[in-house]
Amino acid sequence: MPAQPGTADAALKLEEFLPYRLNVCANIVSTALSRIYAERYSIGVPEWRVLVTLGQFGMMTAKAIGIHSHMHKTKVSRAVAMLERRKLVVRRANRDDLREAFLSLTPAGRDIYSDLAPSALEFARQLMEIVEPADRAALGRALNKLIEHAALIASDIAKGGNPG
């Protein structure tokens, strides 16, 4: 009966579907956060992540930044290039391996960082206040687990499973 929607199975409802809700949530939050820095410093998410990562660790390679911030190397490369043009980041050669270079914030970059970090923390604080106090720790644990294990979910599902 193709005319009767949602009868096929245990009813797939988009608005209750976890992957979808995670996406929507992440987008809304990300958009709200970016309002804090986007126009103010004319940077986007990748640049913000590079700034924060360098602010946190002081000096590291592009590769390390990419790993720490879950960004593709081309994204890191371009973000760093733009921060370098703006004199917010400097590149220092590594004499022991000339393929890579050590990146760090300039004083100007650090100024922006110390202006931006408190705002970000304040944003995160207000964000957490939205969640019921009793649910906060659970949210953190759930995200940890999902980040760690979601990639491993059997793609066997694809192969036309559930015959029963």
Partner DNA sequence: ACAAATTAGTTGCCATTGAAACCATGGTCA
Partner DNA sequence: TGACCATGGTTTCAATGGCAACTAATTTGT
What amino acid occupies position 121? L
Instruction: Please name the helix (run of DSSP H) or strand (run of DSSP E) that holds residue 22, with its range, or none.
Output: helix 18-41
By the rule CB under 8 A, 133 interacts with its own copies:
no
Task: Tell which one of 22, 76, 84, 95 touches its own copies (CB under 8 A).
Answer: 22
Smallest separation, CB 84 to its own copies (Å): 18
For DNA, give the closer residue by CB, 95 or 125.
Answer: 95
Task: Tell which one of 9, 16, 96, 148 touches DNA (CB under 7 A).
Answer: 96
Residue entry with tokens 């923390």: 121
Residues in the interface with DNA (CB under 7 A) total 24
Q: Concatenate the DSSP letters of all residues of 100-158 into one string.
A: SEEEEE-HHHHHHHHHHHHHHHHHHHHHHHHS-HHHHHHHHHHHHHHHHHGGGS-GGGG
Residues 50 to 79: which contact DNA by CB under 7 A? Answer: 61-64, 66, 71-78
What amino acid occupies position 98? L
By the rule CB under 7 A, 151 interacts with DNA:
no
Q: Are 86 and 112 a contacting pair, CB within 8 Å?
A: no
Stretch that binds its own copies, among 11-19, 74-82, 87-95 (CB under 8 A): 11-19
The footprint of DNA (CB under 7 A) covers 44-46, 61-64, 66, 71-78, 80-81, 96-101
